Amino acid sequence: MKIKELLLLSFLAGSAAVSAREVIDFNKGWAFRKAPATTDVMQAATVWNGRWDSVSVPHTWNAHDMQRNVNNFYEGTAYYKKTFDAPAEWNGKRIFLRFEGVGACAEVYVNGRLTGSHRGGYSAFACEISGELKAGARNEVVVKADNAARPDVIPVNHQLFGVYGGIYRPVQLIVAEPCHIAVTDHASSGVYITQRNVSRRSADVKIRVKLDNGSLRPVSLVLETLVSDAEGKTVAARRHEISLSAQGLQNYDTELRINKPHLWQGRRDPYLYRVTVRLTVDGRVVDECVQPLGLRHFEVVAGKGFYLNGERYLMYGVTRHQDRWGKGSALTKADHDEDLAAIMDVGATTIRLAHYQQSDYFYSRCDSLGLIVWAEIPFVNRVTGKEWENAHSQLRELIRQNFNHPSIYVWGLHNEVYHPHAYTAQLTQSLHDLAKTEDPDRYTASVNGYGTAEHPVNMNADIQGMNRYFGWYEKRIGDIVPWVEGLEKSYPDMPLMLTEYGADANLAHQTEFTGDALNWTKEFYPEQFQTKTHEYHWSVIARHPYIVASYLWNMFDFACPMWKRGGVAARNMKGLVTFDRKTKKDAYYWYKANWSEDPVLYMTERRNTDRETRVTRLTVYSNVGQPRVYLNGRELQGCKKGFTDVHYVFDDVTLVDGENVLRAVAADKQGNELSDEMTWHYSGEKRRTKADAASEKEHSGF
């Protein structure tokens, strides 16, 4: 008897066979082995018996070599296997494996037979294993993973960031009834929520559900759709009796109106409803899916800014790479929460998740925290001419898998890809069209590193992003002003976002002498230059609403396995926080003082303890008014404002020989005293070159 016939008989047999789906954690008890690619995976896996390591998922084999070595890490194939017992009552069920992320290409075998494959290291994929599974017996799953760079899968190299190999995100085993909400629609939820005409008066919501009938005949079902508020009260509901065809996936739409909705207002009030889609037979639940609903309306207005629900919303933006020291990309929920805590603490209101799809848990937490999200695919750095199909596939997966996250406002199409220009422009146009077909209600964006509107690959998306590193990779820090003012004048109707800016900072590198440009090819990456870059650049951004949103690069240091710069192998050090998340750099507190509503009082250069000059300069960040600062118990005079209202500068601070204790004090609005203290040491003038002297002369700014 064929599998569909068995499924139909099971489904029609009665209440014992009718229940909601079961989602089983499938992360423990894996065996792992690195080995070259083979044409016969199962034969090789048998030969390797006894030579496997025990691991749990999430897992990556590059947690160390990709973070310590330059162009010397394992990229290629490795294998995972797991055995499990399938209960006899699974006979007649639909069984799926869902992988949230495998770096970067995967093949899945069940009991020796190929059941699924996937190309792309950051999106989820699901495969049905019902036909190969043995109910009431032991079963074996083998996964072949391969993170070797290849020209037909984006990203096509490891140049800007490393693609960690392994099953580095969670795996689920899904047990469903023959008729269920689709699991294999690009590994999406099978439920798609759109919202229109959103106001404080009402909101129109449409819920599309994709249903899958695994039997041979139509089946009568009831489709229920409910919207509940945060307290669990039903605010809208519909019920449809349907006859579900066995001929492929079927779409069913439900339209609802919610009166006087509680709007999703970003960080101020990230209010979430819940949408529940339920299938029943004779009152018994067959399947159920719950999705978030945040009712909101985004609008990007060229030359003016970003609007949320009709009101201008300040976009304080950071970017985030997902990897961390000693773990790579194999992260826990606690790791994601720690990152989000820092992002919230610094006062960010929006985040660019660069340069690839990130964990569903992270998007979900952004929903509940009120962070506005830029989501993108890993089409970066280089064009090969062979990535067309895969770029489309990964964009479709990104959109469908994250369609219901209210925090997402834009789909990123590419980042700094150029030659050949004609091909890249056409591919971007096609990706834009795909995104608008899949999701006409969100924006698209592409990102250029040249900073000119006239570049041949520009103007092929709703939003033009530009990455600019004035003073670091090009020109001088102050050249950001003529750049943005030139675009304002020439292209007033172009929605522009400054999608990357900043500079590296190695905390072991400290100096009092910083000019307005630093040669990034040198090995000295002082923290002070990063701080100075962010101080000035943010002050310019804050004065120019023409920059609709800005995203500093980066929130955290991350691995760059093809680089050795600034005295550290395989590291990009542009983060506000170190790779291990243990140390917040001075620039972190600059943004916290400017962005956060929490009181901030912070003196910079606390790591530059051995001072190079007797008469030096002190910078204090305070968002609670002008601070009082004491040097060795004596109050300093001559405080002046810097680039923004939270920026206070004391010139001509004269140190004594030996230890110098600095203490800053201020009071918040409630009268609570804040204080900060640090110690500098002085033991004589250091030798200075002519270049140092020139830098010192212009040290006070622009």
Give yes or no for a contact between 262 and 227, defined as CB atoms under 8 angstroms apart.
no
Q: Give the residue among 248, 273, 245, 247 at the shortest CA–CA distance from 259.
A: 273
Q: Distance between alpha carbon 335 and the CA centroid of its chain, in Å?
A: 13
As a whole number of angstroms, the distance between CA 68 and CA 392 comes to 33
Check residue 50 and report its DSSP letter.
T
Report the candidate in 544, 542, 537, 464 with the shortest Cα–Cα distance to residue 503: 537
Residue 154 near residue 393 (C-beta atoms within 8 A): no
3-state secondary structure string, 364-408? HHHHHHCCEEEEECCCECCCCCCCHHHHHHHHHHHHHHCCCCCCE
Please give the single-letter amino acid code of residue 661: V
Bridge-based pairing of strands 171-176 and 94-99 is antiparallel
Closest residue by Cα to residue 507 from 561, 613, 562, 586 = 586
Q: Using an 8 Å Cβ cutoff, are 177 and 168 in contact?
A: no
Give the count of beta carbons closer than 10 Å to the beta carbon of residue 635.
10
**In what helix (H) or strand (E) does residue 235 lie, and over which residues does it extend?**
strand 234-244
Q: How far apart are CA 325 and CA 310, in angstroms?
A: 41
- Cα–Cα distance measured from residue 524 to residue 517, given in angstroms and rounded to the nearest whole number: 13
- In which residue are the tokens 């199409």 written? 413
Is 132 a known active-site residue? no
Q: What pairs with residue 85 in β-bridges?
A: 138
Phi-psi region of 625 (alpha: psi -120 to 50; beta: other; left: phi over 0): left
Q: Among residues 229, 313, 316, which one has the least CA distance to residue 271? A: 229
DSSP 555-607: SB-EEEEEEEETTEEEEE---SB-TTS--B-HHHHHHHHHH-SS--EEES-SS
**Single-letter amino acid code for the residue at 233:** K
The active-site residue out of 416, 512, 535, 605 is: 416
Place of tokens 């330059």: 70
Percentages of the chain per state (helix, strand, coil), in multiples of 5? 20, 35, 45
Which two tokens mark 93? 């069920």
- Distance CA(698)–CA(682), nearest Å, equals 22
Cα 610 to its chain centre, rounded Å, is 38
How does strand 568-572 pair with strand 305-308? unpaired
d(CA 448, CA 379): 12
- Which residue, among 308, 361, 455, has the nearest Cα to 172 in the 3D structure? 361
Map 129-166 to HEC letters: CCCCCCCCEEEEEEEEEECCCCCCCCCCCCCCCCCCCE
- In 3D space, the residue among 597, 586, 588 whose CA is nearest the CA of residue 619 turns out to be 586
Q: Give me 353's structure tokens.
A: 């998740």
**What are the angstrom distances between the C-alpha of 633 and each of 27, 235, 629, 656, 677?**
58, 63, 9, 12, 12
**Catalytic sites, residue numbers:** 416
